[in-house]
Structure formats: structure tokens, C-alpha cells
């Protein structure tokens, strides 16, 4: 996967008014925080940042931030922790970044991506992915951006569990090892009793004799 790089600048000022002006100028306001720094207000160019986020499988992934202040630039490891959007316009209005320490373990949720087509699907089954992210703990440099799970051998009723996923030994999985990640369901067999039979109503045939009979009845009632 291509390395994720955010370009940001330290911004002056805080508050809704400042954030509103930044957005009108094509920027997204944000905040950078972490265990060893005071929160730093930042700004990011709107179009390029939105393009990066649109291609993320999960916003909770490790990336790099090139942070500028005046003429200096610092490259740091970050996690995009939160994306705030306008509920009406569905536009990004604020971003929260967490600065990582290379010596401090972090808890992350890694996306799970399936590859290939299962045997069960080839036979008409339905693939059901129960777990789309897996929570792990480890040093930032050891945590992968995503986990790829090969499902080609899955048949009806088979499943891949958390304990079946292979990760580096220095990564701790924080999930129930017997949790189902992905399985293949057999198509539901519809019994004869469950089938809805089409009921065709026979048309009523009105003969000439019936017409005469109804006419006479009507005349008798009117007398």
C-alpha cells in the first residue's frame, strides 16, 4: 500500500471564527496531540487531504505528517484519530491527529481485507465478513496497515477465526481468539411448503340466459 503522507502547517489562532475563515480559504483545520506534546492547532490543504482520506480503508491507520512552521519542516508518525464532518453538507470540517512515539506501544484497529473467491461462493454461497477490523497492540513500526486474509479454501459452514490470522509475534491481538472473522453461508433451500403457489381465479361466465334472468328480477322489484 502506498505510504500515507499528510502535509500540514501550524496555524495561529483558535475558535470557530478562525476555523470558519480557514475553510473559506480552502483549508481544513485540525489538531495534533500526543503523550509528549501539548495540543498543536494545524491546517491542511482541503483538496489533497480529502483525496487521501477518500482512499483510506480505515481512518485509524498509521501515516506520516510533514509539519511546517515558518521555514522549518518536521516529519512525524501520526494516526488520523477522528474525522468531523458537516451533517448537512457531508464535508470534512475538522481532523484530529495523534502523534506516535517510536518507543511507546499503541492500540490500533487494523482493517481486514479478503482476497480470492471462496469455494462456497463458487457454488452459490454467500460470503459474510463478521469482523472488518481487528484490535491489536504493539510498537507503531511493527503494526501493519492492513491484514490480508485468503478465503479461497472456505466452503459452506467453514470459517476463519481470529486465532487463524498470522501476525508478527511482537503484536498482541486484543480480540477473542474464537471470534469469527469471515464465513460462507449456504443458500437457503426453500421447501415446497414455503413456496407461494399462484392462485388463478376462474373467470365467471355470464350467459344470455343469466342476463335475462337478472333483468326479470329487476323488473319484478320495480313493480
- What's the pLDDT tens digit per position in 53-83? 988 867 677 889 999 988 889 999 999 999 9
Q: What is the pLDDT of residue 174?
A: 96
Q: What is the pLDDT of residue 190?
A: 43
Helices (H), ranges, the chain:
16-24, 46-54, 119-122, 208-222
User: Measured between alpha carbons, how far is residue 55 from residues 32, 41, 97 in Å?
Assistant: 21, 25, 17
User: Measured between alpha carbons, how far is residue 90 from residues 11, 52, 83, 85 in Å?
Assistant: 24, 16, 11, 6
pLDDT band of 37, cuts 50, 70, 90: confident
The stretch 37-52 carries a mean pLDDT of: 93
- The order of strands in the sheet holding 180-185 is 126-129, 180-185, 159-161
- What are the beta bridge partners of residue 75? 66
- What's the pLDDT tens digit per position in 193-212? 545 554 444 455 555 565 56
Q: What is the pLDDT of residue 56?
A: 82
Q: Is the pLDDT score of 102 beyond 90?
A: no
pLDDT band of 17, cuts 50, 70, 90: confident
Q: Is the CA virtual torsion 82, 102, 74, 13 positive or negative? A: positive
Q: Write out the three cell numbers for 38.
A: 501539548
Q: Write out the three cell numbers for 181.
A: 472473522
Segment holding 62, helix H or strand E: strand 62-69
- What's the pLDDT tens digit per position in 154-178? 999 899 999 999 998 899 999 999 9
- Please list the residue range(s) of the chain that carry CATH number 2.40.240.10: 5-100
CATH architecture designation of domain 5-100: Beta Barrel (2.40)
Q: What is the pLDDT of residue 191?
A: 47
| Burial environment of residue 61 by CB neighbours within 10 A (0 to 12, 13 to 18, 19 or more) | buried
* Nearest Cα to Cα of residue 2 among 46, 44, 61: 61
Query: Percent of the chain having pLDDT more than 70?
Result: 83
**Domain 107-185 CATH class label:** mainly beta
- Please list the residue range(s) of the chain that carry CATH number 2.170.120.20: 107-185
The stretch 7-20 carries a mean pLDDT of: 88
Q: What is the pLDDT of residue 94?
A: 95
∠ at Cα 196 (190, 197), nearest 5°?
Answer: 125
Q: Is the pLDDT score of 25 beyond 70?
A: yes
Amino acid at each position: 500500500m502506498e505510504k500515507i503522507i499528510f502535509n500540514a502547517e501550524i496555524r495561529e489562532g483558535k475558535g470557530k471564527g478562525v476555523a470558519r475563515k480557514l475553510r473559506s480559504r480552502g483549508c481544513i483545520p485540525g489538531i495534533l496531540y500526543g503523550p509528549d506534546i501539548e495540543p498543536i492547532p494545524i491546517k491542511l490543504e482541503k483538496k489533497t487531504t480529502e483525496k487521501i482520506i477518500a482512499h483510506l480503508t480505515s481512518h485509524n491507520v498509521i501515516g506520516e505528517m510533514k509539519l511546517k512552521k515558518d521555514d522549518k519542516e518536521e516529519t512525524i508518525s501520526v494516526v488520523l484519530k477522528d474525522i468531523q464532518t458537516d451533517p448537512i453538507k457531508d464535508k470534512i470540517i475538522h481532523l484530529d491527529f495523534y502523534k506516535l512515539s517510536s518507543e511507546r506501544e499503541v492500540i490500533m484497529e487494523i482493517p481486514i481485507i479478503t482476497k480470492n473467491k471462496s469455494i462456497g461462493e463458487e457454488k452459490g454461497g454467500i460470503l459474510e465478513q463478521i469482523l472488518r477490523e481487528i484490535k491489536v497492540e504493539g510498537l507503531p513500526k511493527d503494526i501493519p496497515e492492513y491484514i490480508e486474509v485468503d478465503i479461497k479454501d472456505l466452503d459452506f459452514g467453514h470459517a476463519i477465526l481470529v486465532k487463524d490470522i498470522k501476525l508478527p509475534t511482537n503484536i498482541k491481538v486484543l480480540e477473542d481468539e474464537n471470534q469469527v472473522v469471515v464465513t460462507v453461508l449456504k443458500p437457503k433451500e426453500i421447501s415446497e411448503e414455503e413456496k407461494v403457489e399462484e392462485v388463478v381465479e376462474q373467470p365467471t361466465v355470464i350467459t344470455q340466459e343469466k342476463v335475462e334472468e337478472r333483468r326479470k328480477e329487476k323488473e319484478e322489484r320495480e313493480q
